[in-house]
Structure 1
Amino acid sequence: MDAETPDQLAAAFAQDEDAGFALFRDLFFAALERRRLAECRDLLAALCRRDAARLRQECRYHQAILHVEQGALDPAERLLRDLLAEQPPPAPPLQARALLELGYVLDELSQWDEAERLYHAALARYQQNGDPLGQAKARNNLGVLARFRVEQRDVPPERRSDHLRTALAHHQAALALAQAAGDPWEAAKSFHGQGMAHSLLHDPAAAEAAFQEHIARCQALDNSGDQAISLYDLAAHVYLPQGRRQAAHAALAQAIPRLQQAGDDLSLAEALTHLGNLHAAQDNPAQAQAAYAQAVGRAESLRARVTTPTARAGTRALLDAVYTAPLTHHLQQGDAAAAFNAGERARARTLSELLSSPDIRPRSAVAPGLLAQRAALRARLEQAYAADPPPAEPAELAAAALADLERRIELADPALAGLTALAPLTVDQVQARLPAHAALLSYVGDADDRLWGVVVTRHDVQAQPIPTPSIQWLRAYLADHIDGSRRGILTPAPGVPYLEPPRQLFPPLYRTLLAPFEPWLAGAQTVYLVPHGPLHYLPIGALTPDLAAPPPLLAAGRRLVYAPSATVLLDYCHTRPPSSRRGILAVAPQDDQLRLTQGAARRLAEQGQTRHGRSAALLGQAATRRALLDQAGGYAALCFLGHGLFDPTYPMASRLQLADGPLLAGDILAGLRLDADLVALAACETGRSQVLRGDEILGLTRALLYAGAPSLLVTLWRVHEAPTRLLVERFFATLDPAAPDPAAALAAAQGRLRALTVAEARAAMTAWDELSPAAVETQIAQLWQMTRRDRPLQDDAPLFAHPFFWSPYILVGDRPPGG
């Protein structure tokens, strides 16, 4: 910035506030487009010294923009959310700009639905304000988002073309609007968007023409940073697929130095990844790996700038190709050990970093005003949930408002600034820490949307491809069985009392997902499963080649444990010291829809008192949120029996229903501290999570691991009350107080439930005080008809053989056997 510029700006402000601000905007964005960030900071300092309320708001908005340019997304998000929440609200022009910028931030953090909503809200404001340039920016952003969701396979295959044509329409509209506004910068951006959409529509000629037009316009504007982006996208999406490797190399050779000079780490990471792909295509593995290593280094630098857990987890999708490219390269090269290391580096990193920071206490230093707003919103939401019938729209609006406020609280929470980067475990470290007679099967996805399995034992590492199905197809297929049109096979369909046997589900998936790894798993007493993507929703260990036979991984004497990553399992769960407490706290709130939970909790507490010398039950109206949070830390095990609900829209609002209202996953993360060996959640969907890119899981599992539980018994779908009680009672009865082994106890309980005959179930249920003999017979008949329809009841036939009854229970995390 010229020495006289600050004086000119100060004079402009002194003469006329509007003229001064207009000059500031021109200078700020000219510097920003050319990545002269120090100049931007100096200009901001001049703006922020102004006293006018409007200019103080503009100061915060422009600070957010600068944070975005530097990759610091969480402070940018905090500034923008706080600005939009101000009363009175910002003036309409600033409100439109803030909505657009917040949409961009959330777009970068993979919160695509909310980003799209904000983009449309900004577009509507710009239309009301008669601002064609603002409309052009919103249209360009909507086009980029539509195309990016296709790239990230967030769109079903049959809708890809429609999404891409929508993206083209947005960019073409943006071009017309920008030209009408006389803004060559925004007009130029539309051509890059068109190039990307055409390339994904497999129209390389149109894509090349659009990229070249963008490059020429950027050159005329002296915009070398954006020019470099089109150069590397031209190389990756046109030249390389056409085999024009020399042209691709020349384009990347121009782009990379410009991005280095601009300090644009995200674009540089992408360009270096494309360079690695080019070297890999030319069969230069060493050069490919060197480029990938540089790209990952830039990505790690970006991650380190984002300190809040939600933001750090969200950036993983933005960097997906950067982490997936070296993994794919190692798999194709047959280097299983390097592939495992690359996969672990890309998996559940934020969760492992959160678990390695046990001293962080969320909300411990948040402004009381925000917490008071949260309490008021919680009360509104609970009133909406308690209404009969619940009003869908008010509950939805209150849930959205609460989620927004929770995010503002997280961004304002100084405790979360302590989240530091953590190096994931390498394959050598995993092998050294694996227990004897154990194998770890880690699923990963490559750049072609194909699953692989990597098996690690103490002395071997092997990788095998799973040629079909694709990850995207499997995600839709499993979702259809659990929540969609295929219900009635694995889970009940609404209004349909029958379940068909999953003959076309479990045996084929066993042959696909487990059979290729039998040679390495056969001799393992303990099998650790690390799912990937949609496999988080599937009880992989329950898969079997024959529905009439026990699943191989749950055979007698075997232990089966799931984990978000090898690092979470071995660096957190296995290193947690044994609980200094004794006994079980069993919690069963009052619930008119559940008849058996309080009796089960009472029995668990009585058995625990006998076996451990100390146990208790929180029953009925005594089972409140405060009582659970206050008392759970005093026991070695916690068992909740009641209603659970997974919230797919706001996963940290997934909840357990207590007597006085819902206990959210976010409440557990902030307020529960355990000294426990085990938590069992005998309720619906307690093991379901939203799975972000990089296998970051959001939900009750994440919250309870952070609360201090190294081992969780949870469920993957809605479960039936009677078999759940039978399984939980058997599970806790099997646990040895002197050497508790939840994995062995769960396998035994599942095997017992699966084989339990009608006569044996009748005998067990007759002992329950809540059921009369007639009620027992009614329950038995209903359970029988769920899978046998109108066949006559047979006392010697298994009642719960269908996987719906016994397979959704999984154990996440454990301690080493005998540890």
Structure 2
Amino acid sequence: MRLLGNIALDDKNFEKARFYFNLILEKNPENSYAIGRYARSYYFEKQYQKAKQLYRQALSGMAENHLNYPWYTLRQGEVALALGNVTHASEKLQTALAIGKEKQDTELLWEVYFALGRLFMKQAQLPQAIAAFHHAATNMENNRRKITIDELRIGYFEEGSAIYKHLAEAYFQRFQENRHAADLDSTVYFSSHTRGRSLHEAIQEQRAQTAFLQTSAEAAGFREMHKKVATTHYRLRLSFLDTVKTPDAVYTALETDRIDLLSQKLRALEAMPAVDSTKKNQKTDFFAMDSLQAILHKQQAALLLYHISNRQSFVSAISADTVLALPLRARADSVDAAMATLLNPFYSITSDNVDSLKFRADIAYGFYTSLLEPVLSTVNLPSNLIIVPDNHLAGLPFSLLLRRQPAMQAYGLEDSVECMDGFLLHDFVFSYSPSFSTLLRPRPEQKARRDMLVFADPANQSLYDLDAFKKSLRYQMSRKWFYDPLPSALDEAAALQQLGLDTEVLVRNAGTENALFEKYTDFRILHFATHGFIDSVFNEFSGVVLALDSDSTRDGLLMGFEFANLNLTQDLVTLGACESGSGRNTTGEGILGLPRIILTAGARSVLQTQWKIDDDFAGRLLPVFYDNYFNGKMNKAQALAVAKRSVVDMKDKHSHPFFWAAYTLYGDAQRNVPGWFERNMTTLIAVVLSFGIITLLSIAFIRNRRAHAKFRK
């Protein structure tokens, strides 16, 4: 019950958490641990009086040497602080601090110092608050260094990132007061620490971890469990052909095996001898302003680092020659509400309600005035903008924001053209990065010489009457494992083959996992025009659908943990499936999904979709994007923006942002492919040489004929 209650508490399912802890209390009403966790659920819900009563009950009669005594004393101080009782809060926090120092308990100390920092901020004692937050960060990082596995660091830093948010806000407040450059640098530095931390460390360790999992004796259990899970997936994907119902026990065992697979991976990596990247000098390793500005100069771009909270929101704007931080009016609660109103209709779209879809133009304009206009009114920005979003802005395509106030509040598919000239798409080129680290990471040499490997509709279904099949009992039993054919993906692949690139297309049964593993290193770009699936709990089990073959250990489901084991050097991976950019939005990291895993595995960038896409529209947009990129001398973000503009300019229903705003570029926007002349240099040289040889032979032939004619005379 304790474990289930803590899982529910971490998931912010407070009613469910209290249910489990109440089961413990029914058996033992004086269980101080359950009482304390019960109180914690009320604290998170801001029911501070209930939390106060329960913490008092938990501490009643508890000895000072009890394990929970300093923790519940700390929690009493936090509750008092939330209720505005500064004196009582200070007393409790100082008591907890003394115990933490005596025991040298870094886990306790970072939380106490963090609470003290918030107390000092409430008392307008800024220097003391900054000092306390620094102590909290030092103790938190000391604890975090003991954790060497990316998956565990993510969960740990989800709470610890709040320290850096408060530190960034404290330095920003001091910068507003004195305009010192050092405070500006600290504002940007600590704000950058609130996102992508584990991604940064995972990038550094990815190659070594991949090799260890593939070859070491310690990872043998992981490899065996991988085969077992894949074999079960294989069986379930073929189950629609069986006449016997698949037992429920198979599905139950699969869920257990999946968890065991992750456990085996964690156990293997715990045994891996590795350098802990968190021990490096993070200020020079994680963030280097001069290196970042050099990259921005090369790209003729600016970077906008957003920091949104209910206390203080601001944006850091960085270009080749400028660094500034500006206050924003936006607050987290209002941003969350506006994001839901603007984007939820896009996320919930179906074939039945698409005609009633509305774009809330008033909110798109409101986001522009609160997020971008303050920057544009202060500094001249280049047209290329790299957005590093706050968690509250994750998934917002800035290109659909409106620069001019719309005439109507909302627009449908037929009337959205009335406001389309105001989209920021026409003024700026946007790309998105989870953190600075994806821009600063060193890149291995691109050895691939071919352009693009395309997987188009890699499914095994060859049913003549699909509608009739879907009415059958077998389909109802196994539809979770049945993937509809995507005929438009074949049209998309055919259009890509007409671009004059060195492209290999694997359609239907040819698009297997084994084919991918055999060929992927030869290509600069991997393009998946296939189904995808999202696991909102474990992003390792999100993936794309490929075809089955005779190898039962290859399930045709290329999942996140398998992407992570690839040594990707690709310039771009295009995930053409619906909602491929979705995942769990995690504090301190951002969206945990396939794109993050693919960047970690070494790819430079990912072209992702934010919501369900129209297959026919993809067939129009993506060939134009690739043509712009390979043959138009544009970088990836520019190629995508120009392709979108060409669609919007057609002024039909596809001008609605539902169609084109779903596609966003995640990662490095730079151009990393040869142009038309470079790609065709060998052919051009051969043509020129052939022409030269023919010319010389022709001249020699003419001269020879003249000589013979003169001789006859």
**TM-score w.r.t. structure 2 length?**
0.76
Residue 746 (structure 1) shift: 0.6
1:456 corresponds to: 318
Distance change (3 Å), C-alpha of 1:236 and 1:706: closer
2:481 corresponds to: none
Residue 350 (structure 1) shift: 0.9
1:121 corresponds to: none
Quick one: distance in 2 between partners of 1:749 and 1:271?
Answer: 52
User: Pick from 221, 232, 235: which aligns with 2:74?
Assistant: 232
Distance change (3 Å), C-alpha of 1:550 and 1:403: farther
Task: Please identify, of 371-380 and 391-400, the stretch whose mean Cα deviation from structure 2 is larger.
Answer: 391-400
User: Pick from 411, 435, 441: which aligns with 1:565?
Assistant: 435
Quick one: distance in 2 between partners of 1:585 and 1:209?
Answer: 62
Quick one: distance in 2 between partners of 1:654 and 1:145?
Answer: 21
Unaligned runs of 5+ in 1: 1-98, 104-115, 117-141, 156-162, 180-185, 757-796
Paired letter, 1:668: F
Residue 679 (structure 1) shift: 2.0
2:277 corresponds to: 420
Distance change (3 Å), C-alpha of 1:328 and 1:651: same
Paired letter, 2:156: T
Distance change (3 Å), C-alpha of 1:477 and 1:266: farther
Number of equivalences: 605
Could you report, residue by residue, the CA deviation over 1:532-560 in whole angstroms, capped at 9, with x for unpaired residues? 2243222223322455234654226x432
Could you report, residue by residue, the CA deviation over 1:142-178 in whole angstroms, capped at 9, with x for unpaired residues? 3x666665xxxx46xxxxxxx46x7667667655633
Residue 652 (structure 1) shift: 1.9
Paired letter, 2:86: R
Tell me whether 1:601 sits opposite 2:472 in the alignment.
no
2:464 corresponds to: none
Quick one: distance in 1 between partners of 2:294 and 2:456?
Answer: 41
User: Pick from 3, 19, 28: which aligns with 1:178?
Assistant: 28
User: Pick from 559, 562, 570: which aligns with 1:664?
Assistant: 559
Quick one: distance in 2 between partners of 1:450 and 1:217?
Answer: 41
Residue 258 (structure 1) shift: 0.8
User: Pick from 417, 420, 440: which aligns with 1:549?
Assistant: 420
Alignment of 1:197-216 (within 5 A): 207-208=51-52, 210-216=54-60
Quick one: distance in 2 between partners of 1:503 and 1:395?
Answer: 48
1:43 corresponds to: none
Checking the alignment, whether the CA contact within 8 Å between 2:239 and 2:246 is kept in structure 1 is: yes
Task: Please identify, of 390-399 and 323-332, the stretch whose mean Cα deviation from structure 2 is larger.
Answer: 390-399
2:503 corresponds to: 615
Checking the alignment, whether the CA contact within 8 Å between 1:682 and 1:728 is kept in structure 2 is: no
1:160 corresponds to: none
Tell me whether 1:187 sits opposite 2:31 in the alignment.
yes
Distance change (3 Å), C-alpha of 1:269 and 1:626: same
User: Pick from 220, 226, 235: which aligns with 1:374?
Assistant: 226
Residue 719 (structure 1) shift: 0.9
1:434 corresponds to: 296
Quick one: distance in 2 between partners of 1:465 and 1:192?
Answer: 38
Tell me whether 1:217 sits opposite 2:61 in the alignment.
yes
Quick one: distance in 1 between partners of 2:44 and 2:546?
Answer: 49
- Structure with the bigger RCO (C-alpha within 8 Å, sep 6+) is 2
Checking the alignment, whether the CA contact within 8 Å between 2:453 and 2:523 is kept in structure 1 is: yes
Distance change (3 Å), C-alpha of 1:314 and 1:596: same
Tell me whether 1:804 sits opposite 2:658 in the alignment.
yes
Could you report, residue by residue, the CA deviation over 1:786-807 in whole angstroms, capped at 9, with x for unpaired residues? xxxxxxxxxxx52411111111
Residue 810 (structure 1) shift: 0.7
Residue 320 (structure 1) shift: 4.2
User: Pick from 368, 376, 389: which aligns with 1:510?
Assistant: 368
User: Pick from 738, 744, 747: which aligns with 2:638?
Assistant: 744
Residue 340 (structure 1) shift: 2.2
Residue 742 (structure 1) shift: 1.0
Distance change (3 Å), C-alpha of 1:241 and 1:650: closer
Quick one: distance in 2 between partners of 1:199 and 1:688?
Answer: 30
**Corresponding residue SS for 1:560:** strand
Quick one: distance in 2 between partners of 1:170 and 1:594?
Answer: 45
Residue 748 (structure 1) shift: 0.6
Distance change (3 Å), C-alpha of 1:475 and 1:215: farther
Distance change (3 Å), C-alpha of 1:737 and 1:633: farther
1:788 corresponds to: none
Tell me whether 1:360 sits opposite 2:218 in the alignment.
no
Checking the alignment, whether the CA contact within 8 Å between 1:561 and 1:811 is kept in structure 2 is: yes
Quick one: distance in 2 between partners of 1:749 and 1:542?
Answer: 15
Residue 426 (structure 1) shift: 5.2
Distance change (3 Å), C-alpha of 1:513 and 1:381: farther
Quick one: distance in 2 between partners of 1:338 and 1:395?
Answer: 54
Checking the alignment, whether the CA contact within 8 Å between 1:589 and 1:622 is kept in structure 2 is: no
Could you report, residue by residue, the CA deviation over 1:17-36 in whole angstroms, capped at 9, with x for unpaired residues? xxxxxxxxxxxxxxxxxxxx
Tell me whether 1:585 sits opposite 2:453 in the alignment.
yes
Alignment of 1:687-702 (within 5 A): 687-702=581-596
Checking the alignment, whether the CA contact within 8 Å between 2:457 and 2:508 is kept in structure 1 is: yes
Paired letter, 2:661: S
Paired letter, 1:218: M
Quick one: distance in 2 between partners of 1:518 and 1:293?
Answer: 33
**Corresponding residue SS for 2:420:** coil
Distance change (3 Å), C-alpha of 1:468 and 1:395: farther
**Corresponding residue SS for 1:357:** helix
Paired letter, 2:665: L
Quick one: distance in 2 between partners of 1:479 and 1:552?
Answer: 16
Quick one: distance in 1 between partners of 2:431 and 2:632?
Answer: 21
**Corresponding residue SS for 2:585:** strand
Residue 755 (structure 1) shift: 1.7
Task: Please identify, of 716-725 and 679-688, the stretch whose mean Cα deviation from structure 2 is larger.
Answer: 679-688
Residue 749 (structure 1) shift: 0.5
1:629 corresponds to: 517
Residue 203 (structure 1) shift: 6.6
Quick one: distance in 1 between partners of 2:264 and 2:379?
Answer: 45
Quick one: distance in 1 between partners of 2:421 and 2:47?
Answer: 51
Quick one: distance in 2 between partners of 1:521 and 1:593?
Answer: 50
Quick one: distance in 1 between partners of 2:237 and 2:370?
Answer: 42
**Corresponding residue SS for 2:527:** strand
Quick one: distance in 1 between partners of 2:47 and 2:601?
Answer: 51
1:729 corresponds to: 623
Tell me whether 1:684 sits opposite 2:578 in the alignment.
yes
Tell me whether 1:473 sits opposite 2:364 in the alignment.
no
Residue 726 (structure 1) shift: 1.0
Quick one: distance in 1 between partners of 2:262 and 2:452?
Answer: 34
Residue 745 (structure 1) shift: 0.6
User: Pick from 638, 656, 669: which aligns with 2:526?
Assistant: 638
Paired letter, 2:133: Y
**Corresponding residue SS for 1:675:** coil
Tell me whether 1:655 sits opposite 2:543 in the alignment.
yes
Tell me whether 1:283 sits opposite 2:107 in the alignment.
no
The alignment-based identity, stated in percent, is 22
Residue 626 (structure 1) shift: 1.3
1:340 corresponds to: 188
Quick one: distance in 1 between partners of 2:617 and 2:582?
Answer: 19
Distance change (3 Å), C-alpha of 1:450 and 1:381: farther
Quick one: distance in 2 between partners of 1:590 and 1:170?
Answer: 44
Quick one: distance in 2 between partners of 1:709 and 1:527?
Answer: 21
Task: Please identify, of 307-316 and 361-370, the stretch whose mean Cα deviation from structure 2 is larger.
Answer: 361-370
Superposed CA RMSD in Å reads 3.4
Residue 191 (structure 1) shift: 4.9
